[in-house]
Amino acid sequence: LHSCGIWRPKSLLEAARFTLSPNGRLRRKHRDSRALWKHEAVQKYLEALSKEYQQVNCLLNADSKNDFEQRTLRRRHADLSPAATAFQEIKEAERELQELEAMCRELDSRGEKQLLELGLEEKETLDKKISTLCRKLFQLLVPQEKYDKSHVILEVTAGRTTGGDICQQFTKEMFEMYQNYADYKCWTFDVLHYVPAEIGGLHHAAAHISGDDVYRHLKYEGGTHRVQRIPETGLSSRMQRIHTGTMSVIVLPQPEEVDIKVDPKDLRIDTFRAKGAGGQHVNKTDSAVRVVHLPTGLVVECQQERSQQINKELALRMLRAKLYQQVIEQQLSQEQSARKLQLGTRAQSERIRTYNFTQDRVTDHRISYDARNIKGILSGKEELDKLINRLLEFAETEALTEYLENLQSLEGGGC
């Protein structure tokens, strides 16, 4: 494209490859996409992108290039089109908003309250539209992570607490929440492993979730979740106080069959009788399978199916995902210096969220965000989706903010 006289600005990903110290002031200032949109550096970048899009469009219409150059221009046109279109939509919406604000000021000065109320309602609608368009634009600009479109294996494990079984009960509620969320997002949720507790809770469970962009939506759910509640049963009156418990969530991108090859010589496969409810089959059939990967010591179990062979295949799938996760963690640690999303280390020992039942509040500690209506969130539908999207927006905004920090340091001669 340089031979065609087109100047190409650096992509956000290219511009963010410098390792710099975080700029706290800038991060605090630009926590949402609407604020980032107004930043001078973003406007300059988008203006350059829009200019390139117009140049590419003109060259395509001229139809004076050879086939190779035409294909190159068409590919670049397709790459630029979504962002350039969103940019122009926002600019047009902002012009409409300015005209509407001027009209509202005039109506206010003339004392026409009814028309002013209508104008203010339309202004609020337009504001929301601009915010939505800004987020859509920055989703286009921030490159997706490598595994965002992957299916996942999700595991939940109860923690420990004193004076009750709230951890097991909470773990069961969380597992059902993700099952309901999968249904809400039209994903497929296949239970791989399920170990119930004696009084109706859950010790450990795992599921394979497949669908569109599953890992993108669930990748920040991994970590330690804390619950604060008064147990409903099982305690004497003097123990009826707030108890604190924890459970952990692990979210592993599901690899394709070709990604991880497991040597059968490295495996020890044991069979045993399944635990829990299930009738005569559970009591008399050694259908449950435990697979030990000898080089790493990783252990996985599966007992959900009546067929030992099917349980073995499911256990091997879980093992491949865990082995794949080790590779991913190495890559993520290398990339964190370039793209810090400020959403924690994903370590399981790090508390990421607190569910306070007595105050009907869910607090995500990574983004300092409080949400109400715990029952709505645990239902796994709109309220949970809203919280997860809040996390995603924060992550995308942080990625773009880091680009601005790098750009500021470049302009100041820091690099």
Show Cβ contacts of residue 171 under 8 Å, excluding neighbours closer than 6 positions. Answer: 156, 157, 158, 201, 202, 203, 204, 205, 247
pLDDT at 65: 67
Note the pLDDT of residue 175.
96
Separation of alpha carbons 147 and 327, rounded Å:
12
Torsion of CA 311, 316, 322, 326, to 10 degrees: 170
Distance, in Å, from the CA atom of 319 to the CA atom of 2, rounded to the nearest integer, reads 48
DSSP string, 317-348: HHHHHHHHHHHHHHHHHHHTTT----S----T
**Which pLDDT does position 338 carry in this prediction?**
34
CA dihedral 78, 79, 82, 83 (to 10 degrees): -150
The pLDDT assigned to 344 comes to 42
Determine the pLDDT at residue 44: 83
Beta pairing, strands 351-356 & 298-302 = unpaired
Q: d(Cα 382, Cα 333) in Å, to the nearest integer?
A: 33
CB 184 within 8 A of CB 379: no
Q: What is the CA radius of gyration of the chain?
A: 26
Q: What is the mean pLDDT of each run of 10 residues along the chain (415 residues)?
A: 46 36 38 72 84 88 75 88 90 91 87 86 89 82 76 88 73 96 96 85 91 91 89 60 86 66 84 63 67 87 82 84 75 46 44 92 91 93 93 80 62 48
Q: Count the Cβ atoms, other than its own, within 10 Å of residue 321.
A: 25
- pLDDT at residue 239 in the model: 58
Contact between 260 and 323 under an 8 Å Cβ cutoff? The reply is: yes
Q: How far apart are CA 77 and CA 82, in angstroms?
A: 9
Task: Supply angle C-alpha 378, 379, 385, rounded to 5.
Answer: 85
Give CA separation, 332 vs 53, 253, 302, in Å: 33, 13, 29
Cα separation, 6 vs 255, whole angstroms: 40
- Give the residue from 43, 158, 155, 22 showing the smallest Cα distance to 91: 43
